[in-house]
Amino acid sequence: MSPELTSGPIYLYSICPRPQQPLTLPLGLAEPTQLIAVDDIAAVVETGVDLETLQTDEPRLLNAVLSHDRVICELFQATPLLPLRFGTQIASLENLKDHLAHQGADYAAKLEALAQKAEYQLKLIAQEVELPPLAEGLTGRNYFLAKKQRLQDQTTAQAQQQAELAQVLDYIYSAYSDCLEAESPAGEARVYILIDRDDQSLPEKVDEWRSQATHWSLMLSDPLPPYHFV
């Protein structure tokens, strides 16, 4: 057992099966990560992470968030895992071992269910509705009518845009049982889809949806750890 893990809080990245073969562990926020296993379940951890200090330094905090995600993504290339949120800590090594012992069966079931799965983010961004400018020289009633027509055209285009979004979401929910829509800013939509890692159908479907949602830009992520399905 590493002496660094004998006391003090433990920072956690993920839960994974106990590796059958040696697992190459990535560098953490500041130090190399380590593996703590109890029976068939393990946690990838780092010691010496001072979260309170990080939260007072915005550039360092942002870098730490990115590093946390990097560690999980690197591990995901080598093993099934349950990603943990940034900032997850446990008081001591003893507490961590107790936790793994008590939650081991639950973690094992989740890992088995997600072992062959990957998450994708589909992001949709509404394209700006562009309308031709009003004709020059209009005055009085003609100007009023032209402006009113332009407003109606804008409303019609926006309604078509929302209809396209609803149609794409219907396609997603019909095709995939494991998906969820995240809260997004106005003019955007984000959907997370969980599928088999070897399923190559999603990029083809996204291309089809692009052709049917011409008022939206559709962007599909690379395969990701199952952040939203743990």
Map out the domains of the chain as residue ranges. 3-114, 117-229
Mean pLDDT of all residues in 39-58: 93
Residue 35, pLDDT above cutoff 50:
yes
* Residue tagged 């809260």 (tokens): 183
pLDDT of residue 157: 81
Q: How confident is the model at residue 131 (pLDDT cuts 50, 70, 90)?
A: low
pLDDT value of position 2: 45
Is residue 19 classed as helix, strand or coil in its secondary structure?
A: coil
> Does position 165 have pLDDT exceeding 60, yes or no?
yes
Q: What is the architecture, at CATH level 2, of domain 117-229?
A: 2-Layer Sandwich (3.30)
Q: Average pLDDT in the 194-220 region?
A: 94
The mean per-residue pLDDT over the stretch 52-59 comes to: 90
pLDDT average, residue stretch 121-128 = 94
CB 161 within 8 A of CB 215: yes
| The predicted structure's pLDDT at residue 1 | 40
Res 5 pLDDT > 60: no
Using a pLDDT cut of 90, give the percent of the chain over it.
74
Task: Say if residue 12's pLDDT is above 90.
Answer: yes
Q: Hunting for tokens 């999980």 — which residue is that?
A: 72
7 pLDDT higher than 70:
no
* Six token digits for residue 187: 């003019």
**What distance in Å separates the CA atoms of residue 99 and residue 20, rounded to the nearest whole number?**
22
pLDDT given for residue 138 in this prediction: 65
Please, are residues 117 and 177 in contact by the beta-carbon 8 Å criterion? no
Does the pLDDT at position 132 exceed 70?
Answer: no
Are the CB atoms for 13 and 44 separated by under 8 Å? yes
**CA torsion, ordered 67, 187, 196, 73, to nearest 10 deg:** 0
Specify the pTM. 0.85
